[in-house]
């Protein structure tokens, strides 16, 4: 059993080491570094670490502009009841889909749900986002994971886990059906248990993932 747990620990350490780290020195200029970050970090769940070692999670990605990191701090569901005389046209796609209301004053509103009420007024349900601006100078690093990239490493790392299952008899090997004295059929155990180890490795690999880190202040 000790060998089995030791191999799982080794696999975890191997997978945790699957990462890429970028600094300004890896790019021709600071602007190229920021550009690469903006192209990579959109719509991802980010872990933002500040220089004081506190951390913030940005679930919808972030963007760098004017030496500030901008991300959605809060998303809140809002509703409005609009007078039909305010509205010029509605581009309607369907419920729970981004519909656009264009107003006569030139403004517009993207709504998820739109209903025409009995008095001909318009009920609109939408999401209102508040944005946080953090100066780059207070940020230590920003990282995110791609979970599926951890699966290939987990696949290969799972092979020794399967071998350990066989060696430690965690899943008891079937008995050889030959004449007594009966022995353990380790060939069948290997055929059965190595895929189990690979599955365990893939699950661990997905959970650990592949980490991308952008260091702003190493």
Residuewise pLDDT in 10s, the chain (218 residues): 455 555 555 555 555 557 789 999 999 999 999 999 999 998 899 999 999 999 999 988 999 998 999 998 767 788 989 998 999 999 888 776 778 899 999 988 888 888 889 888 999 988 877 889 999 999 999 999 987 777 777 777 777 776 666 666 655 555 555 555 444 555 565 666 677 777 877 887 787 788 899 999 86
Q: How confident is the model at residue 53, as a pLDDT?
A: 92
Of 129, 152, 130, the C-alpha closest to 206 is 152
Domain residue ranges of the chain, discontinuous segments joined by +: 2-20+145-210, 76-129
Q: How confident is the model at residue 103, as a pLDDT?
A: 93
Q: Check if the beta carbon of residue 134 is closer than 8 Å to that of residue 68.
A: yes
pTM: 0.61
- Rounded to whole angstroms, the Cα distance separating 208 from 149 reads 9
End-to-end alpha carbon distance in the chain:
40
- Rounded to whole angstroms, the Cα distance separating 115 from 123 reads 5
As a dihedral over the C-alpha atoms of residue 69, residue 72, residue 73, residue 75, rounded to 10 degrees, the angle is 180
Of 139, 72, 126, the C-alpha closest to 98 is 126
* Helix, strand, coil percentages in the chain from 3-state DSSP, rounded to 5: 35, 40, 25
């Amino acid at each position: 059993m000790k060998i089995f747990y030791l191999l799982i620990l080794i696999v975890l350490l191997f997978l945790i080491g699957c990462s890429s780290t970028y600094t300004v020195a890896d790019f021709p200029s600071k602007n190229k570094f920021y550009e690469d970050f903006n192209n990579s970090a959109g719509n991802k769940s980010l872990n933002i670490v500040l220089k004081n070692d506190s951390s913030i999670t940005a679930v919808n990605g972030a963007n760098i502009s004017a030496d500030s990191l901008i991300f959605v701090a809060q998303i809140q569901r809002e509703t409005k009841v609009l007078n039909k005389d305010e509205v010029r046209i509605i581009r309607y796609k369907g419920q729970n889909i981004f519909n656009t209301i264009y107003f006569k004053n030139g403004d517009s509103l993207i709504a998820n749900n739109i209903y025409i009420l009995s008095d001909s007024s318009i009920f609109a349900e939408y999401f209102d986002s508040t944005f946080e601006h953090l100066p780059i100078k207070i940020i230590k690093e920003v990282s995110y994971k791609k979970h599926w990239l951890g699966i290939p490493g987990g696949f290969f790392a799972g092979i020794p886990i399967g071998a350990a299952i066989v060696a430690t008899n965690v899943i008891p090997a079937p008995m050889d059906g030959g004449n007594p004295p009966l022995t353990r059929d380790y060939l069948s155990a290997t055929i059965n248990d190595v895929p189990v180890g690979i599955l365990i490795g893939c699950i661990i690999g997905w959970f650990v993932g592949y980490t991308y880190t952008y260091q702003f202040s190493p």
